[in-house]
Structure 1
Amino acid sequence: MAYHVLLFADPGIDDSFAIMYALMNPDIDLVGIVSGYGNTPREKSVKNTAYLLSLAGRAEIPIISGAAGPLSGEPVQYYPEIHGPEGLGPIKPPDTLQNVKVHDFTKILEIVNEYAGRLIIVNIGRLTELALVFIVFGDNALKDVTAFYIMGGAFLVPGNISAEAEANFFSDPIAAKIVMEKAYNVFLYPLNITNKAIITSEVINYLGENSPTPFRPLLKPAFDYYFKAYQKNIPGLQGAPLHDVVPLMAITNPELFKYIPKRVRVEEFGNSKGKSIADFRPKPAEEPPETLDFIGMEADFQKFVSNFMEIFLQGNFEKK
């Protein structure tokens, strides 16, 4: 039986690969996508999501309009040098997607209620929308969600947007703090492991020639654009990390990952804005068990690549 997943995303190239992975994975039932600002403005994020769903023939999956900016009200910085002007590298979604139905925020509660006790929320973008659910609808609004799988944070390693902070936490640290305090049964995938989730050009070239899916024409141009940006930022890198695929793969392949239970906190302001904090001392301070999060710190990356290829080579699009 497939896992029911409500995905919060901001596509973005690696988000787009994560959406494609979820759509093709026979063990994931994607029941909705919340698309907000992040790698691109909200309007482009929604359009990219609609484009990917239309290619897959899965237009029945609801798209929910996310936030336009962070809770702080600060202006948003976008990253066209990494994700391209439209968010898909050199690819521009067709203008025929103008009239796609987009749901408002209340659709999130409808989905949570429909799949009560059997829904996983996966957040691979900024945490603004997830924080807003707690703020607007209350601390118990998501009590029937079974787990939260979140890409974010960096522990005892450099950040990727500041010296200490990872992009999702840095871009809205107020939201990140709210989510890490109020969500429960959280599985967190920080840069410690997602930086190692490297896919090479050789893998993408092979999939670009052999993937039996309608996504095939996107794979190489989108990845090549992303890879070039990473080569500029990290000279000598042999591929590019697809951070956002990691939490989705962890749902269906839990044996690939090892976790450390720690309470995670997030710095909201100052020079350490967005920094994720946990107590890694040999004898950490005791925390109530219900406040502990599961931080992914190790993974089998050979199997990560194998599973990634396997999913993109089978192309399963049937409604699950």
Structure 2
Amino acid sequence: MPIPVIIDTDPGVDDTIAILLAIASPELEILSYTVSYGRNPLISARINLFKVYQSIERHLAQHPTQKDRFPNFDLKRKPILAKGSAGPLEGDLHSAQYFHGRDGLGDITNRHPELSVESPPDLHPYLELSSRNAVEVSLDILRSKPSRSVTYIALGPLTNLALMMRADSQLVTDRIGRVVCMGGALDVPGNTSPMAEFNFFADPFAVKELLISTELHKGLPRDRFLLLPLDITTPHELPFPFYKTVVDPAFDTSARPSLAGEKSPLVHFTSSFLERTREVMIQFGKDAMELHDIVAVWCAIENPPFADNEPMTLAPGWKGTSRVFDIERTGDLTRGMLVTDRREDESAFPLGSTRSEAQREPNETFNKEVPGVFCISETPGPTVLLKLLTQRVWGN
């Protein structure tokens, strides 16, 4: 049976490709999308999801025999689309327009007006548009589905999940099957600041409340939370020369923008926002797109929830380790930074050399009663993901 999933997203570039992978994956049953602020404003996030569905609908109108490629694109099984939080639990609202553009998809609103959604529809053939907020919708899904069966895929800030825990932590802890979260940077630089990954930078207060300090509620079940930090997602890439060779031979950002008549509607859609992504990544010295959120969806596909009487396990090729950290919430330079307690690492320094045993004793900086967070440290490999992605999303 497919894994029921709630996808919590702020659809920017990598979220959009991750959603395409989810729609094309028979292992998943998408129950809802809860869209929120993040890389772009809330209204843009919702419109970007409409653009995803519009591109698939146009593609299948031209290629009706490929319907089986998109098992979650079904008139009879409509995911709910609900609006989530418009800002973090506390603090200022931050976006990532420098990378994703003003509309979240490389400014395709201006660069490719043929891909625009004229106005948000009141009805949608493939989505159930809900007037209720994301917290209510997600809690109702957990109530309606068998206990421990639903995976919550967090591709954006953790604000919505934190608000769910505030609303009914007992329901969440009793019934959620697994949380798969893309976020944070442990032993590598950040991608939004020198220290922080964007999702955790956007709402470090939610991270603190959910994973570190749980005075407001019972706390998430640690054995059912999988964190995929930049440490593991960054090495997974979609090289643009590979994309040009395998997916879109006409993809050439230096010559002219993508033309709809030269390729399938779905390829035209992805090429249209990857144009700007490539320009930005080349400025960063890399001719490839990092597949952060795509790795999270892949992890959810490969690692379904487990029953209450079963131990936590990972699929072959997947490994992880428990890490103890805290998060900086208000620092001018370090907001969103995961501060790891390196004194817990036996390899951090040899005893008796540069530090005394007394310096290794716990202090008030870290709460030693809080267990670590299980972080994915190994996947079956970037090549395996790249093959899966190109086969499922683009049919190559």
TM-score range, shorter chain: 0.7 to 0.9
Q: Secondary structure at the match of 1:164?
A: coil
1:53-74 CA distances to partner (integer Å, 9 max, x unpaired)? 3444547211110111111141
Q: 1:266 to 1:37 in 2, by over 3 A?
A: same
User: What is the distance in 2 between the residues matched to 1:240 and 1:266?
Assistant: 27
Partner of residue 104, structure 1:
133
Give yes or no for the alignment of 1:216 onto 2:245: no
Question: What secondary structure is seen at the aligned counterpart in 2 of 1:261?
Answer: strand
Q: Choose from 53, 62, 71 the match for 2:89.
A: 71
Native 8 Å contact 1:256 1:304 kept in 2: no
Write the distance in 1 (CA, Å) between the matches of 2:140 and 2:377.
Answer: 34
Tell me what 2:310 maps to: none
> Between Structure 1 and Structure 2, how many residues are aligned?
310
Which residue does the alignment assign to 2:40? 40
Q: Structure 2 vs 1, CA of residues 81 and 266 (structure 1 numbering), >3 Å: closer, same or farther?
A: closer
Post-superposition CA distance 1:269-298 (Å, at most 9, x none): 22432112344543498967x933221223
Q: Contact conserved, 2:148 with 2:178, CA < 8 A, in 1?
A: no
Partner residue in 2 for 1:318: none
Cα RMSD after superposing both structures = 2.6
CA displacement, residues 167-189 of structure 1 (integer Å, 9 cap, x when unaligned)? 11111100111222432221111
Contact 2:192 2:201 (C-alpha < 8 Å) held by counterparts:
yes
Among residues 179, 196, 207, which one is paired with 1:176 in the alignment? Answer: 207
What CA distance in whole angstroms lies between the structure 1 residues aligned with 2:204 and 2:340?
Answer: 15
Secondary structure (helix, strand or coil) at the match of 1:141 reads: helix
Aligned residue among 336, 357, 373 for 1:274: 336
Structure-2 residue corresponding to 1:292: 372
The offset of 1:145, in angstroms, is 0.8
Shift in Å at residue 47 of structure 1? 1.4
Match of 2:391 in 1: 310
Would you say the 8 A contact 1:260–1:297 is kept in 2?
Answer: yes
Identity across aligned pairs (percent)? 23
8 A contact 1:24–1:314 mirrored in 2: no
Mapping of 1:152-231 within 5 angstroms? 152-181=183-212, 182-184=219-221, 185-205=224-244, 206-208=246-248, 215-231=266-282
After TM superposition, where is structure 1 displaced by more than 6 Å over at least 4 residues in a row? Answer: 284-288
**1:54–1:221: structure 2 CA closer, same or farther, 3 Å change rule?**
closer
Change (3 A) 1:139 1:167: farther
Partner of 1:252: 301
2:287 counterpart letter in structure 1: Q
Checking the alignment, whether the CA contact within 8 Å between 2:10 and 2:155 is kept in structure 1 is yes
State the distance in 1 between where 2:182 and 2:336 align: 13
Gaps of 5+ in 1: 316-320
**3-state SS of paired residue (1:30):** strand
Whole-angstrom CA distance in 1 between matches of 2:54 and 2:138: 21
Q: Is the 8 A contact 2:184 2:337 kept in 1?
A: yes
| Contact residue 9 and residue 154 of structure 2 kept, 8 A | yes
Aligned to 2:382: 301
Question: Cα distance 1:292–1:81, how it changes in 2: closer, same or farther (>3 A)?
Answer: closer
1:240–1:153: structure 2 CA closer, same or farther, 3 Å change rule?
Answer: same
SS of equivalent residue, structure 2 residue 180: strand
SS in 2 for 1:95: coil
